[in-house]
Structure 1
Amino acid sequence: MLRKAFLLLYALFSIAVCVGGYVYGRNIPFAQQWPLFEALRNTASIIFAVVGAWLAIIYPERLKLTFREDASKKSAGPNMGMLLTPGVRIDVTSPDS
């Protein structure tokens, strides 16, 4: 019961924030927003590069396994997930629990 109340409160708060953002943001011209989008894009690319370098330095054996040609597999697509397993938390619990 408490969880449902929390989720309802969270949903109402999220809707209020979105409506407030729309009301406030519709008066801001795009020319004023563009530098913020550029900064966000640059920051995201830096973070992506740092995380990629971190994965390549810390887990070089995973990188080799990911791009190794295997006789049974034609492409490295399915192995791409192996590269990110150390950095991504995988929840193995069943959905019923």
Structure 2
Amino acid sequence: MIGGSAEPDKAEIKKVREAWINKRPPVWTRVHALPGFVRFPHQRHIKILGTESCTTCHGDVRTMPQVYQVATLKMGWCVNCHVQRNVTRDCTVCHY
């Protein structure tokens, strides 16, 4: 999320607007990187977690001056979340 009226914020908003006008996806700076053998289906997580889905992994980006990684996103962290919510722990759901 980009907010504020500082010049760096305006520049980022301009990038998003230009991408929209040119009908191209914005070029994002990767903050969370997972290994190539791991897949993370956002849609499935949003369906289960609802409105809290983003903050669960990404933190409250609305209050961050710059987005940073909040959770480790290591396997143990993910498995703990699956255990707490009693959802699948089948290895092939995330690994291929």
TM-score by length of 1: 0.24
Task: Say which one has the larger Rg.
Answer: 1
Q: In proportion to residue count, which structure has more helix?
A: 1
TM-score by length of 2: 0.24
